[in-house]
Amino acid sequence: MARMSDCTDPRFREVMTSLVRHLHAFLREVDLRPQEWLAAIEFLTATGQACNERRQEFILLSDTLGASMAVVALDQARALRCDAPSAASATEATVQGPFYWEGAPDLALGCDLRAAGVAGEPAYYAGEVTDTAGRPLAGALLDIWSGDGEGVYDMQVEGQGMTLRGRLRTDADGRYRFWSIRPTEYPVPTDGPVGVMLKRMGRHPMRPGHIHLKVSADGHVPLTTHLFGRGGRYLDSDAVFGVRDSLIVDYERHEPGTAPDGRRLEQPYYTVRYDFRLAPRSGDPTDPR
């Protein structure tokens, strides 16, 4: 730690000093054996080499050790400290996960994210985006993604283009609405080093069904979150520790007929109502966000 006396970046020095202290405390606490150290080196190397344009095994590692969710929670807690008390009622954030794909198509309000042939039962999502005082936010951006009704993401299918992804903006009253599928539980990728780790830990690799959303509006702290379906499996043992009670929603089932937006459905469908609340951004110019 003393060797960093010439470091000119105080924050980097602070972070690395803490990292070195905890790293060495860990090594001493478990009295790590050389062959265990070597196994760790080989694991980390394999994790780096499993990464490519469409796969980020280190994010998956961070997710499955709860580190990603910890960083998300710390970030949101920091926002609360800056913007309290109004931010205290902001929608809870959760992990981004490895399947975000920048540049989803801009779609019209009310559109259907499902393409022909996509597996999954239809679900109509609607609600509003407001600030933490309840004022509607017009033109707020929702960037939405999910796996299909079998839990498979487009990125996991070689050669498949974007599917079940889209970006849309709230109307003048801060309202949003779109069709997608009712998501189902699925495993995180288990064919890489992280899968081996989970197995050795005696853990299952499953995530409860969820749909991802990034919600943002000018002057407000951007939100990355999920909605989970109430009563679904694995809500109490999400492999990436992403579940928050406030993000569990009801998927209300309907028989075939006319949906709330006037669309005729020939099959059963679900409706979901959820309102997102964004915290006003702090005016503090030193705010790192």
What residue ranges bind a copy of itself (CB under 8 A)?
3-9, 12-16, 18-20, 22-37, 41, 44-49, 51, 56, 58-59, 62, 65-68, 70-72, 74-75, 78, 200-203, 237, 288
CA separation, residue 172 to residues 139, 147, 184, 280 (Å): 7, 30, 32, 19
Give the whole-angstrom CA distance, residue 99 versus residue 147. 9
Minimum distance, C-beta of residue 243 to a copy of itself, in the bound complex (Å) = 13
Which C-beta is closer to a copy of itself: that of 72 or that of 126? Answer: 72
Which C-beta is closer to a copy of itself: that of 45 or that of 160? Answer: 45
3-state DSSP call for residue 125? strand
Minimum distance, C-beta of residue 83 to a copy of itself, in the bound complex (Å) = 16
Full DSSP string of 149-183:
TTS--GGGSTT----SEEEEE--TTSEEEEEEE--
Q: What's the one-letter identity of residue 122?
A: P
- Which two three-digit tokens encode residue 143? 């960037």
Contact assessment for residue 237 and residue 206, using Cβ atoms and an 8 Å cutoff = yes
Which C-beta is closer to a copy of itself: that of 65 or that of 248? Answer: 65
Give the whole-angstrom CA distance, residue 127 versus residue 175. 6
Which C-beta is closer to a copy of itself: that of 29 or that of 158? Answer: 29
Minimum distance, C-beta of residue 25 to a copy of itself, in the bound complex (Å) = 6
Minimum distance, C-beta of residue 289 to a copy of itself, in the bound complex (Å) = 8
Give the whole-angstrom CA distance, residue 19 versus residue 83. 29
Which C-beta is closer to a copy of itself: that of 40 or that of 88? Answer: 40
Which C-beta is closer to a copy of itself: that of 38 or that of 157? Answer: 38
Minimum distance, C-beta of residue 170 to a copy of itself, in the bound complex (Å) = 24
Cβ neighbors of 93 (< 8 A, separation 6 or more) are: 72, 73, 75, 76, 223, 224, 225
Which C-beta is closer to a copy of itself: that of 135 or that of 233? Answer: 233
Minimum distance, C-beta of residue 251 to a copy of itself, in the bound complex (Å) = 26
> What is the dihedral sign for C-alpha 70, 76, 81, 86?
negative
Minimum distance, C-beta of residue 238 to a copy of itself, in the bound complex (Å) = 10
